[in-house]
Structure 1
Amino acid sequence: MATLNKAVPLSAYTLFTRAEWAKLSKSTTDMLSPIERAQLGSINETISAEEVSDIYLPLSQLLYMHMTKSVQLHENVNHFLQKKTKKVPFVIGVAGSVSVGKSTTARLIQALCSRWPNSPKVDLITTDGFLYPNAVLEERGLMKRKGFPESYDIGRLIRFLYELKSGRAYIEAPMYSHLTYDILEDQAQKIIEPDVVIVEGINVLQVNKKDRRIPQVFVSDFFDFSIYVDADEEDILSWYIERFKLLRNTAFQQPESFFHRYRHLSDSQAFDFAKDVWSTINGVNLEKNIRPTRHRADLILKKGAGHKVKEVHLKKM
């Protein structure tokens, strides 16, 4: 961290404790029912009414403020230029480590944004769909580097975002199956005239430094607002191991699961296997490629025990 002098640290962010952030909400109503919260949660992350009211309602209201200002600026510019152009989607990026809960955060944001006063059409895509197929990764010797920058077709992702921000009415995004651990070659997500698009993935704030064949345009260049979901690595590792054990008893039991071979692991074997995968793959990726992008985000949600957000860091304007 840069310092003006030894006593005065400089920061581009304003820090809010959980209590301070919760006070910012103008609504005391839980806008998500218990059934909705259960549907939006994950296998090892439940969403409480308190988490919605304290953290995600103020965040939704902040995002709404940014979106409405964007719409107003578009109208003012149209008036100034004497043009009638259609407003392109407001794009929100959500980044963070494997198992930190960024997918749950993205789903919560989607649900709350769809309840904004203007009832916008909100789509959510994940960058998992832009991974290279397993056959390509095998051919290139990258299966054990899955999730690292070189395992993604960044050119295809950039083209998708170009089309999105160019105002195309219909776009297709590739889809990924966490069950088969591969791209769904015969399926695509249809994006039709969205007002808001949430782009979630571990790589959305990364910059392309290695492949000079790709123009130096970054995924985050297309974002109107970006969020990084953060936590101490000790907590993330604990959540990763917990999730692996739960999946061992559920999804891994299905014959079509890529990890079907691990369905009979004992608790101690599952712990050792998951910890080894973390230390050799996911933890390395977090340290080298994911965490260094944290301070490119407009807002950082810092989680603690139980996936509860304990701090919010908002970039100064």
Structure 2
Amino acid sequence: MDKRIKPPAPYHHFTKAQWSNLRADEKMTLSREDVKRLRTLSDPISLEEAEEVYLPLTRLLSFYVEAVQSLHNVSTRFLDTPDQKVPFIIGVAGSVAVGKSTTARILRALLQRWPASPKVDLVTTDGFLHPNAVLEERGIMERKGFPESYDRARFVAFLADIKSGKADVAVPVYSHLVYDVVPGEFVTIDRPDILIVEGLNILQPGELPRTGKPILFASDFLDFSIYIDAAESDLRDWFMERFFRLRETAFQDPSSFFHRFAQMSEKEAGALGKMVWETINLPNLVDNVLPTRGRADLVLKKGQSHMIEEVQLRRV
């Protein structure tokens, strides 16, 4: 093989300006107050960024939803089976503190305001974490957020139920206040048109059995996947910024799992936050989260300002 021949690039690359032009005549349906309400604690997304990045993205998603539905119709005609609604599932992945929650919320709000007014639900993978008691028993409490800390079989079963059109699928509730799954509490997802799933490890394929036996992974159920990318140094800074903001707000609640951190001096809290980043979040990012970036259909690359600077769309 001629070494001068380069393999085709897997992604189209766009600057924010180039991507924004793909909005075409799509109208913005969110207000500045909507965006302010939807963004998370440390994500400074603006109305302008929502217009420039997420509006073109929802236009693209409308084409994908239409194409997937057409493919489903072909399959039901061929198999002569009853036609039923098949939810379109969008996955949002990326590091801790990169802004997954804000992206998921903005997308949901925009998709809900399509002319057809689709039913759009949003689920985070936090509810599928093993309870703290299980993590303690297995000796992996310090690896919370790593792939092995999730009940992956339950999560795959949930996605399978959603894709099959099952009604009233239960999702366990996770409380960030008590840092644990809440026993006996669930939210119900009932046959959405679109489901957005947000989490650290949703693009992971996992290990294949040597026997060749078919096995399902969460990523098998995603119709479109988004990875939010940023430099490691920026992710660390954003994590620390969020940590200190939480120390001044949510951690002040006496019932918070992290209340003791609010009582620390700023220096002590800073040292603790740095330790959490270096011993938990960074290894998880390097070993588990970042390697899945190349599996995403769309990569949103953020700069130091937390603003998206580049968009990469997988070639079809």
Q: What TM-score range do you get, normalising by the shorter chain?
A: over 0.9
- The CA deviation at 1:268 is 2.8
CA distance in 2, matches of 1:255, 1:67: 45
Which residue pairs with 1:303 in the alignment? 302
- The CA deviation at 1:265 is 2.6
- Aligned counterparts, 1:136-215, within 5 A: 136-209=134-207
The farther-off stretch of 22-31 and 303-312 is 22-31
Indicate whether 1:227 and 2:213 are aligned: no
Give SS of 1:172's match: strand
Which residue pairs with 1:292 in the alignment? 291
CA distance in 2, matches of 1:44, 1:27: 31
Give SS of 1:305's match: coil
Whichever residue aligns with residue 20 of structure 1, its letter is Q
CA distance in 2, matches of 1:105, 1:268: 32
CA distance in 2, matches of 1:210, 1:76: 30
CA distance in 1, matches of 2:269, 2:126: 24
Structure 1 regions of 5+ residues with no counterpart?
none
Kindly provide the CA deviation profile for residues 163-188 of structure 1, in whole angstroms up to 9, marking residues without a partner as x.
11111122111111111100011211
CA distance in 1, matches of 2:135, 2:104: 27
Give SS of 2:30's match: coil
CA distance in 1, matches of 2:140, 2:2: 44
- Aligned counterparts, 1:5-24, within 5 A: 5=3, 8=6, 10-24=8-22
Give SS of 1:285's match: helix
Distance change in 2, residues 1:202/1:266 (3 Å): same
Whichever residue aligns with residue 137 of structure 2, its letter is E
Kindly provide the CA deviation profile for residues 248-283 of structure 1, in whole angstroms up to 9, marking residues without a partner as x.
000000011110000023333322211111111100
Whichever residue aligns with residue 168 of structure 1, its letter is K
The farther-off stretch of 100-109 and 266-275 is 266-275
Structure 2 regions of 5+ residues with no counterpart?
none
Indicate whether 1:132 and 2:139 are aligned: no
The farther-off stretch of 91-100 and 162-171 is 162-171
Indicate whether 1:64 and 2:62 are aligned: yes
CA distance in 2, matches of 1:69, 1:207: 24
Give SS of 1:184's match: strand
Kindly provide the CA deviation profile for residues 187-221 of structure 1, in whole angstroms up to 9, marking residues without a partner as x.
11111121000111001001222999x97311000
- Aligned counterparts, 1:2-151, within 5 A: 5=3, 8=6, 10-27=8-25, 29-151=27-149
Whichever residue aligns with residue 290 of structure 1, its letter is V
Aligned identity (percent) is 51
The alignment yields a C-alpha RMSD, in angstroms, of: 2.0
The farther-off stretch of 23-32 and 143-152 is 23-32
- The CA deviation at 1:80 is 4.1
CA distance in 2, matches of 1:144, 1:302: 29
> Is the 8 Å Cα contact of residues 69 and 86 (structure 2) preserved in structure 1?
no
Give SS of 1:258's match: coil
Which residue pairs with 1:274 in the alignment? 273
How many aligned residue pairs are there?
314
CA distance in 1, matches of 2:90, 2:17: 25
CA distance in 2, matches of 1:14, 1:224: 19
Distance change in 2, residues 1:241/1:210 (3 Å): farther
CA distance in 1, matches of 2:209, 2:73: 38
- The CA deviation at 1:7 is 7.5
Give SS of 1:93's match: strand
> Is the 8 Å Cα contact of residues 208 and 215 (structure 2) preserved in structure 1?
no
- The CA deviation at 1:32 is 1.0
The farther-off stretch of 127-136 and 259-268 is 259-268
Which residue pairs with 2:244 in the alignment? 245
CA distance in 2, matches of 1:211, 1:145: 24
> Is the 8 Å Cα contact of residues 88 and 223 (structure 2) preserved in structure 1?
yes
CA distance in 2, matches of 1:4, 1:96: 36
- The CA deviation at 1:135 is 0.8
- The CA deviation at 1:77 is 3.4
The farther-off stretch of 235-244 and 260-269 is 260-269
The farther-off stretch of 158-167 and 282-291 is 158-167
CA distance in 2, matches of 1:28, 1:92: 20
> Is the 8 Å Cα contact of residues 13 and 314 (structure 1) preserved in structure 2?
yes
CA distance in 1, matches of 2:189, 2:234: 35
- The CA deviation at 1:6 is 5.0
